[in-house]
Amino acid sequence: MNSTLRPGLYLVATPIGNLQDLSLRAHEILSNAEVIACEDTRVTGKLLSRHTIDRPMKAYHEHNAAQARPGLLKILEEGGAVALVSDAGTPAISDPGFRLVNDCIERGFDVTAAPGANAAITGLILSGLPTDRFMFAGFLPNKTTGRKKELAELASIPATLIFYESAKRLAAALEDMAEQLGDRPACVARELTKLHEEMRRGSLVELAGHYQQAGAPKGEIVIVVGPPLKAAPLSEDEIEALILARLENKSVRDAAQEIALETGLPKRQIYARALDISKGQKKGQAS
């Protein structure tokens, strides 16, 4: 091994758009690693050539991670330095990097990081939404049923939520978020650090409406959603009165959806209460 680096795995953050966003330390590590493990050699090749770095690359991605890992571990066993990068941003965030990190920790190899760009954190700090407590929720399921189920699980978490989403599913995802989380303030962060960087802020209902009308935007997206709304808490009696009024001319499902949007309370909670009340009404009518 002829690397000037200490042996071990180096998690190296790369830019999320602007190729200048590579730290001096990241440059040094990439220039001296035995091998650079990357998701797509064409994408990383472009970055390396922009920074005149010439080191061997090895593909390591979701579809070949199990086959590629032994080769990387062998280099580490022989005392080499392996740099792990993703297509963009911080490796091991929404990619198979964490498994390699885990294997290295189990085998007692040194693991260190050259931190840098990350789309979730960049979207969060630009959103203007609370940053004191947040949860990164990654990608939601593509289909609406799975997406709604996962959102329902996240609805009561008292923190700002951060999602990665594809541009083509943006409007549908925002609509499901409004339904399951309530009409919270949110921000769609698009093309971060790139020429057409855009922050669109508004309530979930407003943002869903905008993208339904405008169609899918171009580029990469982070959605940031504010914590559960803290309106003056409604008493059980007030919630019941709202439900009773809606049930006069609406189904349980529609009533729950409208009240959840209006109050910011989780739809699941309202739905369960509305179902109880509706069952009670039917029993009363039958007897």
Binding of ligand SAM by 208 (CB under 6 A): no
Binding of ligand SAM by 47 (CB under 6 A): no
Binding of ligand SAM by 164 (CB under 6 A): yes
- Are residues 226 and 193 in contact, defined by beta-carbon separation less than 8 angstroms? no
Q: Give the nearest distance from C-beta 260 to ligand SAM in angstroms.
A: 26
Binding of ligand SAM by 178 (CB under 6 A): no
Binding of ligand SAM by 95 (CB under 6 A): yes
Using CB under 6 A, pick the residue from 9, 30, 60, 86 that binds ligand SAM.
86
Using CB under 6 A, pick the residue from 21, 40, 110, 191 that binds ligand SAM.
191
Binding of ligand SAM by 225 (CB under 6 A): no
Binding of ligand SAM by 154 (CB under 6 A): no
113 or 119: whose CB is closer to ligand SAM? 119
189 or 261: whose CB is closer to ligand SAM? 189
Q: Give the nearest distance from C-beta 122 to ligand SAM in angstroms.
A: 7
- Are residues 271 and 279 in contact, defined by beta-carbon separation less than 8 angstroms? no
Q: Which amino acid is at 39?
A: E
The whole-angstrom separation of Cα 131 and Cα 123 is 11
Residues 6+ apart with CB under 8 A from 92: 11, 84, 86, 98, 100, 101
> Which range, of 25-33, 92-100, 175-183, 276-284, touches ligand SAM by CB under 6 A?
92-100
- Are residues 58 and 85 in contact, defined by beta-carbon separation less than 8 angstroms? no
Closest to 21 in 3D by CA, of 12, 33, 32, 10: 12
- Are residues 121 and 16 in contact, defined by beta-carbon separation less than 8 angstroms? no
Using CB under 6 A, pick the residue from 94, 144, 269, 278 that binds ligand SAM.
94
Q: Which two tokens stand for residue 258?
A: 């409208």
116 or 202: whose CB is closer to ligand SAM? 116
The whole-angstrom separation of Cα 175 and Cα 93 is 26
- Are residues 82 and 34 in contact, defined by beta-carbon separation less than 8 angstroms? yes
Binding of ligand SAM by 44 (CB under 6 A): no
Task: Read off the DSSP letter of residue 51.
Answer: T
Bridge partners (DSSP) of residue 200 are 188
> Which range, of 81-89, 208-216, 238-246, 262-270, touches ligand SAM by CB under 6 A?
81-89
Does the CA dihedral 4-6-8-12 come out positive or negative? Answer: negative
DSSP letter string over 143-189? Answer: SHHHHHHHHHHHTT-SSEEEEEE-GGGHHHHHHHHHHHH-S-EEEEE
> Which range, of 44-52, 89-97, 239-247, 256-264, touches ligand SAM by CB under 6 A?
89-97
170 or 242: whose CB is closer to ligand SAM? 170
> How many residues sit in the footprint of ligand SAM (CB under 6 A)?
23
Using CB under 6 A, pick the residue from 137, 181, 222, 224 that binds ligand SAM.
222
Binding of ligand SAM by 119 (CB under 6 A): yes
Q: Which residues bind ligand SAM (CB under 6 A)?
A: 16-17, 86, 88-90, 93-95, 118-120, 164-165, 189-194, 220-222
